[in-house]
Amino acid sequence: MIRLDKIGKQNGRQIVFIEASAALQKGEKAGLVGPNGAGKTTLFRMMTGQEQPDEGQVSAERGITIGYFSQDVGEMRGRSVVAEVMDGAGPVSIVAAELKELEGALADPERADEMEALVERYGEVQARFEELDGYALEGRAYEVLAGLGFSQEMMENDVGRLSGGWKMRVALARILLMRPDVMLLDEPSNHLDLESLIWLESFLKGYDGALLMTSHDREFMNRIVSKVIEIDGGTLTTYSGDYGFYEQQRALNELQQQAQFERQQAMLAKEIKFIERFKARASHAAQVQSRVKKLDKIERVEPPRRRQTVAFEFQPAPRSGDDVAMLKGVHKSYGSRIIYEGFDFSIRRKERWCVMGVNGAGKSTLLKLVTGTAQPDSGSVTVGGSVKLGYFAQHAMDLLDGDLTIFEDLESTFPQAGQGSLRALAGCFGFSGDDVEKPCRVLSGGEKARLVMAKMLYDPPNFLVLDEPTNHLDIATKEMLIAALASYEGTMLFVSHDRHFLAALSNRLLELTGDGVRLYGGGYSEYVASTGQEAPGLRA
């Protein structure tokens, strides 16, 4: 449906694509992968016609509709959430807007003299709305919004009152409702909780159009795509299979290419040694000349391009007491909404609790109570002796000093640390070379999250409290973080919507439900096995 033929693209001095080719066929569901800055967004923009390649051609089948979801959602205000979503559904949204306008006019006593014309026009517009299946569209809009976590009240309220993350969901809902022939989704799993993520996964599995998407959630990607297009070094390489197959195949290709490179290097060294040894001897002139010509004609094998990933290793954290945190008889309300009523909960040393529950169940509230950033209305929260607490919260990223560079921020936090040690720390969290000179104010959400995480883990606490630590992190950084936390000797309490993270690190699970609290002796994998659910209220 969309084909890229030998495209070339340069942004300023950066060469993004060199003779790159790929295709997205009817009904295919493909993942687009590559390191940050490789050109994924540029590729999407070329596929939608927002940008043109410098060389080559991007062609699409005549008459197809393309829906593109990007992280830049634009301005939204002045109408309800459901109206905003329906506005993106093509021609029917224009008819729906006029129908609403006419309904208002018919109810306006000051326009009574126009009543006959208004009624006639209303009949025409209503017939057109029915012809376009508009009434079903409104029902579908509510269904999509509910799937993405919106309450009925939120759907009817002004979209302008929503936070940036919820506006992202509105923009995504517009594309899903549109059901175009081709969907291009740039990080659709960002800003979604686990329940919404699983709903979206099910929706996309049932979508019969072509899909190309990026995602930092490997489990989400694995369950949807059957093809992976990789951007690396300006080229596009296509792999048939899910994300797991792509990883295996890429690793195998790297091994094979490395072996070819090493064999050729050994052969070249042998030939060059012969040439150097006999080039001054007339008796070997013909042989030397022959070998020089042979070397000139050989196509050189390049070594594989290795993505730089640095492992992070914890320094030993001080040992805490066996009782890490205790909540007794805790009551907590926000206005008339009761979150906890007589809640008892204890965390023991080396336990790794993941907290699950639907939106508003009190997951983040529990983390705030344990860390002392929120106080119970009654009852007690006690942190054990010799507990050194580290708390990763989303708001921590807003507290970075925008005028400091990454390195200056690390230096000010750890004034006793050596430069080499801090540069090694920065490298572990994806800041290498000149990256450390970036001012904090220009950092992306992912870069800010990595910097906050690096600062927290350098001088490790023995009790980690993490609220959605993988938000904004790319797959490589997540893998590094999971590997580091797997060897961490301390205690953990965390909320996450990343199923790979949950399964890899939890050994206890606390589920917050409308009927009360449920505790599971195993981690997330055992929870799924015993309940048949991947999230509260959803069937696996």
Answer yes or no: is pLDDT of 216 > 80.
yes
pLDDT at 175: 93
| Phi, psi for residue 271 in degrees, rounded to 5 | -65, -45
Q: What is the mean pLDDT of the chain?
A: 89
Torsion angle (degrees, nearest 10) of CA 206, 210, 216, 218: 60
Where is average pLDDT lowest: 47-61, 305-319, 419-433, 499-513? 305-319
Answer yes or no: is pLDDT of 160 > 50.
yes
* Selected residue with higher pLDDT from 394 and 41: 41
Q: How confident is the model at residue 537 (pLDDT cuts 50, 70, 90)?
A: low
pLDDT at 342: 93
pLDDT at 307: 61
Q: Residue 409 to residues 392, 419, 436, 451, 481: CA-CA distances in angstroms?
A: 17, 12, 10, 9, 21
**Mean local confidence (pLDDT), 446-470:** 89
| Phi, psi for residue 382 in degrees, rounded to 5 | -125, 130
**Mean local confidence (pLDDT), 221-239:** 93
pTM for the whole structure: 0.80
CA angle 73, 77, 82 (to 5 degrees): 85
pLDDT at 510: 95
Answer yes or no: is pLDDT of 367 > 70.
yes
* Selected residue with higher pLDDT from 280 and 335: 335
Strands 352-357 and 66-69: unpaired
| Phi, psi for residue 517 in degrees, rounded to 5 | -105, 135
**Mean local confidence (pLDDT), 27-56:** 91
